[in-house]
Amino acid sequence: MFTLAFAQVAWSVATQWDGVTGGSNGLVGTAPAGTLGTPRGFVAVAVILATAGVAATAALARSGFGARLRAVRDAPQRAAASGIDGPRVQARAFVFAAAIGGVGGAVVALAKGSLSPDLMAIPRSVDALVMVLLGGVQSVAGAVVGAVSFTLLQDSALRHVPYWRMAVGALVLALVLGLPRGIAGIAWPRRRAR
């Protein structure tokens, strides 16, 4: 809830601070030039950055820091009793997530050629949560599978269904209830058995 409240405050500031953010019009003219200006060059750079971000997140999740982060999330009192500084671990995770999010935001700004305050609205935060729930919370691959699935689902529903938000919501709800570990969790029991 704190994250959603902060998103609403950030959206309000971005909408009203005309001198810095362009107000409700946003910022225009962020299209890349040179090699990044070509579709092939831009897609190549975007894929490289996305792959590096997923690889860095997976490496962090498998590291000792990832284990401390899970300990702070799952049992904060036990983690504190074993000497783990919970707020410090969470602050470092926040910095890492902000860096990954910042790179992703830069790619979006370059892809669209403009930035609108609507990108900071609460529905975007909800979309990110739905992507993670859809793909699976317990793995980095789940976030990737969820993002791809949600985007494909949203794009296909947008073309063929008049009330596409309701259709996407109902389908995501059915998938989350039917597959509590998400789409990527279908392969999880097999991988664990090996």
Q: Residue ranges per domain, the chain?
A: 27-115, 121-194
What's the rounded mean pLDDT across residues 168-175? 80
Q: What is the mean pLDDT of residues 78-96?
A: 91
Mean pLDDT of 74-91: 90
Q: State how far Cα 145 lies from the chain centre.
A: 12
CA angle 8, 6, 175 (to 5 degrees): 80
Whole-angstrom Cα distance, residue 125 to residue 101? 12
The total of other beta-carbon atoms located within 10 Å of residue 115's CB is 19
Average pLDDT over residues 24-53: 82
| Virtual torsion, Cα 81, 86, 92, 96, nearest 10 deg | 100
pLDDT of residue 169: 79
pLDDT reported for residue 89: 92
Mean pLDDT of 26-55: 83
Q: What is the pLDDT of residues 100-119, one digit of tens each?
A: 988 988 888 888 777 777 77
Query: Which of 46-50, 120-124, 164-168 reaches the highest mean pLDDT?
Result: 46-50
Q: What is the DSSP string of 2-66?
A: HHHHHHHHHHHHHHH-HHHH-GGG-EE-----GGGGSHHHHHHHHHHHHHHHHHHHHHHHHSHHH
Q: How confident is the model at residue 189 (pLDDT cuts 50, 70, 90)?
A: low
Q: What is the chain's mean pLDDT, rounded?
A: 82
d(CA 131, CA 151): 9
Closest-CA residue to 89 (of 109, 121, 100, 97): 97
Q: How far apart are CA 142 and CA 151, in angstroms?
A: 14
